[in-house]
Amino acid sequence: MPPAPTTFTVSEATRKKWSEAVNEQANAAPVLDLTVDNITENVIAVNSNVTDNPRLQYLITKFIRASHDFIRDVGLNFEEWEQVWKFLTSVGQISTDVRHEMVLLSDILGISALVDSISHPAVPGATEYSLLGPFHDDRAHFVELGESITSEGTPGEATLVRGTIKDINGNPVNKALIDVWETDGNGTYDVEYIDKDGPDFRGKLYSDKNGAFYFSCVRPVPYPIANDGPVGALLRKLNRHFFRPAHMHFIILHPSYDKLITALYTRDSKYIHSDTVFGVKSSLMVDYVWTEDLKLAEQYGVKPFKRVLDGVEKEGFWLLEHDFVLVGKRDPVSLKTRD
Ligand code: BEZ
Ligand code: FE
């Protein structure tokens, strides 16, 4: 049997309001003989009946004006528009619950980074925000302070990360939840391995009463974003690469502070100045320092590895030290409803 059609319950009052609006519009603005020069005002007039949502009214009006101006400005023709809507259709068609091609398109056009910066204006002295990306996984395991967030045998170079969570006045933040995720040393997230069971190269931990946190992991490396779909095809057409510089993602949560979504970018990483999704900020660039302090390794449970430096084999690990500064709860940025 075919599924029963979805039914919507609409009250008599709403029905009446709609039909009055439709009748009013049927005899309203002269939507006739439209030209390149007068169509915009007419389309705006027809879309000016939102009475209960000033933000929506503002957005639709501005969008119509900006998109029409763009089309007139560049002289967009029929064939080009056909290419655009076919491209957007293919972006939608490849998208699934786990493959967000539309978000990826917004990422490579700098839209995600721009929206992020508007939503989280920088506060002097506080850690800046950076893109969340598609690989956060709330199922990450909790680890104790000092534990590794990577399983035994994970490809990559051993690294100790340590730092403090502070407020804007330098006070330590006790029991901040640090949710961290990264790729392994091959530049692959756990969820990208089809045969991998459960979360890896990610973990959640709490800062101690001094605001301190520390965990071991592998040093992140640059990696390509998904490029086997329409967004990858677009990047190739634009002669752009599809790599992100090496980075480690963090979400830091505490009930008294704004949620911080950020990432630390490796200063000497390839692509640091050409991140394909525009997430890098100079305040988020960090240095991994090579250390041969094996006592420190023992103290923090890091497994050192061997590396040839100037022709000599050395044993050590990478140390990343970074403090995060949280901002007290802020009111959300107010939404404009007029110019
Ligand atoms: C990421 O860093 O995980 C990411 C961000 C945007 C697009 C793809 C990946
Ligand atoms: Fe990432």
Please tell me the predicted confidence (pLDDT) of residue 260.
97
Please tell me the predicted confidence (pLDDT) of residue 13.
81
Separation between Cα atoms, residue 45 and residue 101, nearest integer Å: 34
Residue 326 · residue 176 · CB < 8 Å: yes
Separation between Cα atoms, residue 115 and residue 267, nearest integer Å: 24
Return the percentage of the chain with pLDDT > 90, whole number: 84
Q: Do 160 and 60 belong to one domain?
A: no
Separation between Cα atoms, residue 38 and residue 23, nearest integer Å: 23
Please tell me the predicted confidence (pLDDT) of residue 16.
79
Of the given ranges (24-28, 233-237, 271-275), which has the lowest mean pLDDT?
Answer: 24-28
Residue having the nearest C-alpha atom to atom 2 of ligand 1: 133
Q: Do 139 and 282 belong to one domain?
A: yes
Closest of 62, 65, 108 to residue 229, by C-alpha: 108
Q: Is 67's pLDDT higher than 90?
A: yes
Q: Is 28's pLDDT higher than 70?
A: no
CA 84 to ligand 1 centroid distance, Å: 24
Q: Do 161 and 295 belong to one domain?
A: yes
Is 137 domain-assigned? yes
Q: Do 144 and 212 belong to one domain?
A: yes
Please tell me the predicted confidence (pLDDT) of residue 31.
67
Is 157 domain-assigned? yes
Q: Do 19 and 159 belong to one domain?
A: no
Task: Give the model confidence (pLDDT) of 72-104 as tens digits.
Answer: 999 999 999 999 999 999 999 999 988 999 999
Is 145 domain-assigned? yes
Q: Is 1's pLDDT higher than 70?
A: no
Is 9 domain-assigned? no
Is 160 domain-assigned? yes
List, in order, residues 6 or more apart from 335 with CB less than 8 Å away. 55
Please tell me the predicted confidence (pLDDT) of residue 26.
63
Separation between Cα atoms, residue 70 and residue 64, nearest integer Å: 10
Model confidence at 298, pLDDT cuts 50, 70, 90, reads: very high
Place of tokens 């009463």: 209
Residue having the nearest C-alpha atom to atom 5 of ligand 1: 133
Q: Are strands 247-253 and 177-181 parallel, antiparallel or unpaired?
A: antiparallel
Separation between Cα atoms, residue 105 and residue 93, nearest integer Å: 13
Q: Do 25 and 135 belong to one domain?
A: no
Residue 161 · residue 215 · CB < 8 Å: yes
Is 140 domain-assigned? yes
CA 43 to ligand 2 centroid distance, Å: 41
Q: Do 133 and 61 belong to one domain?
A: no
Q: Which domain holds residue 165?
A: 122-224+238-326
Identify the DSSP state of 276. T
Q: Do 165 and 311 belong to one domain?
A: yes
Tokens of 235: 């990047």
Q: Do 66 and 167 belong to one domain?
A: no
Q: Do 145 and 59 belong to one domain?
A: no
Tokens of 28: 């309203």
CA 265 to ligand 2 centroid distance, Å: 10
Is 243 domain-assigned? yes
Model confidence at 14, pLDDT cuts 50, 70, 90, reads: confident
Q: Do 44 and 137 belong to one domain?
A: no
Model confidence at 197, pLDDT cuts 50, 70, 90, reads: confident
CB atoms within 10 A of CB 99: 14
Q: Which residues lie with the beta carbon below 6 Å from any ligand 1 atom?
A: 104, 107, 131, 133-135, 225, 244, 277
Place of tokens 């190739």: 236
Tokens of 145: 């302070």
Residue having the nearest C-alpha atom to atom 1 of ligand 1: 133
List, in order, residues 6 or more apart from 214 with CB less than 8 Å away. 145, 146, 160, 161, 162, 163, 300
Please tell me the predicted confidence (pLDDT) of residue 29.
58
Residue 289 · residue 253 · CB < 8 Å: no
Residue 230 · residue 101 · CB < 8 Å: yes
CATH code, 243? 2.60.130.10
For the chain, the domain total comes to: 2
State the chain's mean pLDDT as an integer. Answer: 93
Closest of 127, 139, 222 to residue 179, by C-alpha: 139
Average pLDDT over residues 59-80: 98
CA distances from 255 to 177, 326, 333 (A): 10, 11, 19
List, in order, residues 6 or more apart from 192 with CB less than 8 Å away. none
Q: Is 32's pLDDT higher than 80?
A: no
Separation between Cα atoms, residue 107 and residue 276, nearest integer Å: 8
Model confidence at 5, pLDDT cuts 50, 70, 90, reads: low
Closest of 335, 254, 301 to residue 57, by C-alpha: 335
Of the bound ligands, which one is closest to the alpha carbon of residue 220? Answer: 2
Is 315 domain-assigned? yes
Residue having the nearest C-alpha atom to atom 6 of ligand 1: 133
Q: Do 31 and 129 belong to one domain?
A: no
Residue having the nearest C-alpha atom to atom 7 of ligand 1: 133
Residue 189 · residue 127 · CB < 8 Å: no
